[in-house]
Every structure is written in structure tokens, then in C-alpha cells.
Amino acid sequence: MQSPTYDRIWLNARLITMIPRRTADDVDPYRTLDAYGIIDDGALATCDGTIAWLGPRAALPGDPERLAGEVIDVDGRCITPGLVDPHTHLIFGGERLGDFERRLAGETYVSAAHRSSDSGIAHTVAMTRAADDTTLFDAAAKRLATLVRNGATTVEIKSGYGLDVETELRLLALARRLGSELGVSVRATFLGAHVVPPEYATRRDAYVTLLCDEMLPRIARGHLADAVDVFCETIAFTANETERIAAAATALGLPVKLHADQLSDGGGAGLAARAGAISADHLEFANEAGIAALAAAGTVAVILPGAYYFLRESRKPPLAALRAHGVPLALASDCNPGTSPILSLPAVMNLACLLFGFTPHEALLACTRNAARALGLRDRGELRTGMRCDLAIWDVSSPAELSYWLGADLCQETVVGGRSLDLNRR
């Protein structure tokens, strides 16, 4: 008996390829753009973890039962590329309920950052340093499983709540372990430059030297991180400090990402462009020159509506300018205990549409192809042959429903590298 050509075939699917195509129908005699690249009554086959064939079911080169070892009828559901979350702070100790309650009473995020260690990032650093690996892993695994149950197949996880050599290395190792044990594609980002830790408050330069001369070389030698991030902001690192850290990372062959212009116009967008950053994240206060520089550098803008919503901010990112200059837009959860405790990319898509004027197509693109590009990945984010077989299967009839519903249980299955994940394992 001849061996099957494919490992699995999904049938009777509405394939949302995210590859725009021209189409025509009886209503509009002119060819119109289908931005989602939809294939109705479609089929998709996987082999060795990649998409080996997709198209209309009628065009399959044979009987599905003979072509594949397993055939799955999805009963007309939508299949999109697996969602990509390019900005999370998923591993941390404790919570920040005190910050939340004080913020409701009128305290600002910046004020909390300047208080003692019972608030802000400093509080989370203290809680994280005190937690053992089992505690940190189990809590983060639950958060990651929730993201997966909501369609995520690739998730970036930052360090940044250790801010000493030992804890930062622990957090990066835990990020790698989370991906391995849960079967999710995890990209680890070193964010030792989150804020200056309390013990270095009067020795900022010594901490930057520690980052550049000890932490970064150890991380590069051990292949512990896929990228390096810096929080370039008034409450964190100056432009000069950021440039120094980014240059050290680049010299070691590590891609750079930046938290840029979230709370003030510190020239972060332009700095990100000069550093060749793969992404610049937040950008609420980015200026026109910085935005033009991002476009010229090919840097992806990662927009974080969760933080805007949770902090009750009023300054929106300059989306009109970003669009006008052609900067690719990605969305992310920014999951963290202080400013964005969100564990659903569809919820982020809804916020982006309602708060920032994204279209549903723009939001889905921002959570698939553009989000993958924000991590430097070009092997996922679209449904096409040769791409990784990372899929999200949704109980919806239209992809716009992913931005429409808030809090609905829409994702029926997530597939990473051609293999279905057990959504109920945690």
C-alpha cells in the first residue's frame, strides 16, 4: 500500500490566508480586492510541520483518505494563521492589585514608578526575585495556556523582572522551558534594561556596564534570547543609555526591539530606526520624523491597546502618520501585572478596533503576518505552501467576528507545526 502524501488534511474549511487577491462576483462586475484572501470550501494539508498544499477542496489531487494519514472535517469553520503575540511580560511573581486600586483612586503610572518598592515595576521585581522556579513556571504556564486557547501559536516572552544576573538568566531559561513543555513557539527576549534596579539607583552607569559587559555576552554565548529589548523612557533608560545597550546587543548578533515613546517624546522611534530594531513598541508620543525613520528602516510598529485601556490614557498612538508612511502595524497583548493583564489576542483586536479605529482585517493582519515580522519571523503569519503549519480554527463564519466578539470562546483548535495542542491541559 502506498504511503500517504500528507500527515493531515483539514477539509470543509473557510481558509483565511491573509494573502490579498482579486476576485469578482455577480454584484460587482469589476474585480475587487479580497484582503483576507479567503478560500471557501477549502482544504489544507500538512507534512513534516509545514503547509504542503492548500486550495479549494475540489482541486485536491486525489481522495483525501488516500492522501493523508488523518482527515479532519472542520464543518465550515474558519482557519486562520495561528495568532502571534510579539510583546508579553508573561513570567512574573505576585500581582499588582495595589497599583490597580491606587490608580482607580487617581494615582498615575509615573507616580507609582517613583514610589517605594511596594508599587510599580520595582514591586514586581522584588516578588519575582523571591519566587522559586516552580512557582514562576506554573503561573506563567497558566497564562500561556490561556493565550493558546485564544488562538496564539507563537508568543514572545520577555525577562525584565529580575534585573540581576541570576534572576534574568532564570527567567530566560523558564521562557524556553514554557515553549518546550506546552508545545508553543516561544521567542525569548532579554529585557534586563526594563528599569534601573533599586540597588543601582545612584549608580546607573554601573548597571548599564553590567548589562553590556556581563549579561549580554553570557546570554549570547548561551543562546538564551532571540532578541534584546530596552525601555527607552523618562522612568527607565535615557536615549544615550539605550543606544549603548542596543549597540552592545547588535555587536553580539542579537536583534534589537525597543519600548519607545510610550510616556513622552524621547526620540525613541528614531533611535529604534537607527539601531535597526525589528520592532518599536507603544509609540504613543512618537514624532513624524521618527515615524518616517521607522518606515525607511523597515521596523514594525507594535501597538499595545491593552496598556492604553488599562492605564486610562488619553494620548493615542499616531496611527494616521504610521499608516501614511507605510509602517507595518502589529498588535500584542503586552501581558504584564501592572499595565495590561490581558490574555486574549482577540480581545486586543477588539480594543484596537474600538479605541484606535483599526478595521477587523487590519487587526487580524496585525496579529498574524505583521506580528510575526515584529519578531523577525517570515515562516508564519500566512496560509501558503512552505510556511509553518501554525493554525487557529475558529467557530465563526467571518474573520471579522474575531474582532467583534469580546470574551467569547471562539477558538476550537490551535495547531503548532502541524500538531494540535491540548487546550485543556492547564
pLDDT digits (tens, 9 = 90+) for 292-351: 999 999 999 999 999 999 999 999 999 999 999 999 999 999 999 999 999 999 999 999
Q: pLDDT digits over 187-200, tens only?
A: 999 999 999 999 99
List, in sequence order, the alpha helices (H) in 28-182.
64-67, 97-104, 109-113, 120-130, 133-149, 165-182
Given a cut of 90, is residue 47 above it in pLDDT?
A: yes
* Residue pLDDT, tens place only, 259-298: 999 999 999 999 999 999 999 999 999 999 999 999 999 9
Tell me if 194 sits within 8 A of 163, measured CB to CB.
Answer: yes
Q: What percent of the chain has pLDDT over 70?
A: 95
**Full set of structural domains in the chain with CATH:** 6-76 (2.30.40.10), 83-373 (3.20.20.140)
pLDDT of residue 426: 45
Whether the CB-CB separation of 277 and 327 falls below 8 Å is answered with no
> In whole angstroms, what is the distance from residue 206 CA to residue 370 CA?
37
Half-sphere exposure of 318 (CA within 13 A, CB side): 22
pLDDT of residue 4: 86
Q: What are 54's strand-pairing partners?
A: 44
Pairing of strands 391-394, 411-416: antiparallel
Question: In DSSP terms, which residues pair with 42 in a beta bridge?
Answer: 13, 56
Write out the E strands in 328-400. 329-331, 391-394
**pLDDT of res. 3:** 75
How many Å apart are CA 249 and CA 272, to the nearest integer?
A: 13
